[in-house]
Amino acid sequence: MDQIEQLPAQLARRNWVILTLLLLGSLPFGNLALSIGILVGGLIAIGGFFWLRSSLDRLLGQATGGTKFSYMFGCFSRLAALTVILAVLVAIVKIHAIGLVIGLSVVIINLFWMTAQRAL
C-alpha cells in the first residue's frame, strides 16, 4: 500500500495518541473540569475528522453524478451539527472553555505534527 494511502489511517490513530497525551498533561493541574473539557473537545474533533474522512471516501468512491451536491450538503450538515453541539456545550452545559478549545485542537496539532515530520 502506498504511503499516501496509509496517511488517513495514520492521522486517525495519531489523533487518539494526541488526545491521550493532552489528557495526561492536564492531570497535574488537578482541575477535573479542564480534563473533561479536553476530553469532550477531543472527541468532537475526532468525530468531525472521522465524518469528513467518510464523506471524502464516499465522494471519491462514487462515479455517478450529483456527488458534489451530496458532499457539500454533508459539509454543511457537519458544520451545523458541530455548531449546535458546541453551542449547547458552552451555553447550557457550561463546559470548561479553555479545555474545550485545547481538545478541539487535536486534529490541528496532528496536522502540524505530520507536516513537521515530513519536512524534516
Closest CA to 51 of 80, 85, 74, 23: 74
The torsion angles phi and psi of 51, rounded to 5 degrees, stand at -65, -45
Q: Is the pLDDT of residue 111 over 90?
A: yes
Looking at the structure of the chain, the number of domains it has is 1
Domain that holds residue 82: 9-119
3 domain residue, yes or no: no
2 domain residue, yes or no: no
104 domain residue, yes or no: yes
Cβ proximity of 18 and 109 under 8 Å: yes
26 domain residue, yes or no: yes
69 domain residue, yes or no: yes
What's the mean per-residue pLDDT of the chain? 89
74 domain residue, yes or no: yes
Q: Residue 20: what pLDDT?
A: 97
What is the tens place of the pLDDT at every residue in 33-67? 999 999 999 999 999 999 888 877 777 776 565 56
Indicate the helix (H) or strand (E) that contains 38: helix 32-61
89 domain residue, yes or no: yes
96 domain residue, yes or no: yes
